[in-house]
Amino acid sequence: MSTRACPQRVGILTGGGDCPGLNAVIRAVTQSLLRQCGAEVIGIEDGFAGLLCEPARARRLDWDAVSGILLLGGTILGSSNRANPLASAQATALALANVRRLGLDALVVIGGDGSMTIAHGLAQQGLAIVGVPKTIDNDLYGCERSFGFDTAVATVTEALERIQTTAHSHHRVMIVETMGRWAGWIALESGLAGAADAILLPELDYDLPTLARHCQARLQRERYSVICIGEGAKAQGGAPTLQTSPALPADGHPVPRLGGVAHQLSAQLQPLLDAEVRATVLGHVQRGGSPTPFDRVLATLYGNQAAQLLLQGQFGCMVTLSGGQLGHIALAEVAQQQRTVPAGHPLLQAAQQIGVCLGQADRDRAHRPPLDHP
């Protein structure tokens, strides 16, 4: 992290996938800077892609421009998860040149681990940067809660509640697949909130026979079962379920994406159970819509904290929440890392202790309730 004079012209961009709460951060950063020091705020359009155009795509953000956007989903600036100014020396030079042409003293980057890795690389090139953690996956290293996560959990929980009624009506085993990549936070929290009978996470490879026995026992008691599975989960000895994106980034190589594990699990479970098995992949519905009140407040706190770091001249860092307290961490510590569900986490322990199947043979077998359990 470095310390410099307070910037008077600040750029702000939203990188990576969209996420509920992005507009709340844009609003908080802009209003805080306008009110506290009169700094000029420039919105970079379409994330890092806006810095890779000639001329750069950008517009001035004043009080009117950010008024009324707190409750809006998505981002008024647009975003891109394809553009990488570090992809080549030419791209880096263009991005840096555009920052100079725009007269920016500092740049606020709102994004996930990929955006923070890019931000760290640009900071090493001399840019004054402050990062704001954004991801529904809640997997940013050094930050215990990213905005957008609460909204995603609420969306998945509502879907699980609706799936429960269909599963009960038709006496089916229903599998719901969540986003989250290699981290199981969405599946874990929404699975608990939505009363899933089994929760399968990328961090814990599941044992298929154990899962089948748990579902069959549930069918004998209740005649239906609901499984919540993170997209990065896999069976013991298996591999993650990948799909290949039809779109190509600038380097021309296909981008592998997680997705479809619910359908794969459905096919594996069907011959082992005395009920119809159906799969639902929630997909991008988890990223859309208006942010929850919690996410609106958290995003506002993060945006204001980013502004305070700018006013203090502290750069090369990302806003964090740790132990319930706002702070910051060096971008170098965040880059190329992810925060996954650790073994022994209280939520995992609670799930096991109330009888939720996590797909773990020894523990789940030991704690399985009798078939006549109410």
pLDDT digit string (tens) for 39-61?
A: 999 999 999 999 999 999 999 99
Q: CA-based angle 147:152:157, to the nearest 5? A: 140
| Catalytic-residue membership of 18 | no
Establish whether 9 is an annotated binding residue: no
For residue 39, give the CATH number of its domain: 3.40.50.450
Does residue 281 sit in the same domain as residue 299?
A: no
154, part of any domain: no
Does residue 134 sit in the same domain as residue 23?
A: yes
Q: What is the pLDDT at residue 254?
A: 54
371, part of any domain: no
Does residue 353 sit in the same domain as residue 217?
A: yes
pLDDT in tens, 225-279: 999 999 999 999 988 988 866 554 544 445 678 889 999 999 999 999 999 999 9
Q: What is the pLDDT at residue 36?
A: 92
User: Low-confidence residues of the chain, pLDDT below 70?
Assistant: 1-5, 244-255, 362-374
- Between the alpha carbon of residue 293 and those of residues 20, 211, 359, the distances in Å are 11, 36, 34
Does residue 225 sit in the same domain as residue 256?
A: yes
Q: What is the pLDDT at residue 257?
A: 84
250, part of any domain: yes
Establish whether 2 is an annotated binding residue: no
Q: With 0-12 CB in 10 A as exposed, 13-18 as middle and 19+ as buried, what is 147?
A: buried
- Between the alpha carbon of residue 165 and those of residues 196, 198, 211, 222, 283, the distances in Å are 12, 16, 21, 12, 21
140, part of any domain: yes
Q: In terms of residue numbers, what domain contains 48?
A: 2-147+291-334
Establish whether 181 is an annotated binding residue: yes
CA distance 62 to 204: 47
Q: With 0-12 CB in 10 A as exposed, 13-18 as middle and 19+ as buried, what is 155?
A: buried
Q: Which of 46, 105, 137, 139 is catalytic?
A: 137
Q: Output the average pLDDT for the chain.
A: 91
Establish whether 82 is an annotated binding residue: yes
